[in-house]
A and B are shown apart, each in its own frame.
Chain A
């Protein structure tokens, strides 16, 4: 049981390049999330998906797009990377929406992205 798997673990991009961060969970969770973590700012929600086929903006969605490909997979795309997008990106999933009162999130190992 792998939990939440993110790829890649590290990536270096040049300004203007595009890339997709992949996330998959094997816990049959309805909800999935993408966060970025910057020093001194905690985690900030970029996008979330409450169920397959739906996505919603979080606190900092500008410059990103997401796709909920199926129940297991939720990808994050940077169309034209900027240095301000240098960060650590975390994917998470939870059982929210499945009759569970607690929305405990399970996090992936993170992707460390540098945009030069």
Chain B
């Protein structure tokens, strides 16, 4: 069974600071996804990483993938309150079998 681990589980950071969320997965996978979930809401796609060394950036978020280390990172630059949410990474095995991490609950405080 494929396992996906995220850390930290909870993150409280001050506005303007930088931080990184880590996502490790246990077996090879073709695709790595990052999703965002606001409290009481559904999930929204942020990034899809398809190959080793892939890097995607959107605003203050940047995601990267190292398939050899089975590691993806989500880097937050100069955090703002609007980034407060839960962030999930996920991998798929064979296309439709998805495995999600436990999520990282991010709170950005003034």
A53 interface contact, C-beta 8 A: no
Which of A42, A96, A97, A104 is the one whose CB lies under 8 Å from B103?
A: A42
Please indicate which of the listed interface residues B42, B44, B88 has the most CB atoms of chain A within 10 Å of its own CB.
B42
Give the dominant DSSP class at B's interface: strand
Judging by beta carbons under 8 Å apart, are B97 and A48 in contact? yes
Binds B, one of A20-28, A68-76, A78-86, A106-114: A106-114
Minimum CB–CB distance for B12 against chain A, Å: 17
Q: Which of the four size classes fits the interface of chain A?
A: 20 to 34
- Which residues of chain B are near A101, meaning CB under 8 Å? 50
Minimum CB–CB distance for A111 against chain B, Å: 11
| A residues in contact (CB < 8 Å) with B | 31, 33, 35, 40-45, 48, 50, 56, 58-59, 90, 92, 96-97, 101-110
| B residues in contact (CB < 8 Å) with A | 1, 4, 9, 31, 33, 41-45, 48, 50, 88, 90, 92, 95-103
Please list 17 pairs of residues, one from A and one from B, whose beta carbons are closer than 8 Å in the complex, sorted by A's number: A42-B102, A43-B88, A44-B100, A48-B97, A56-B96, A58-B97, A59-B97, A96-B96, A102-B48, A103-B31, A103-B33, A104-B45, A105-B45, A105-B98, A107-B43, A108-B42, A110-B42
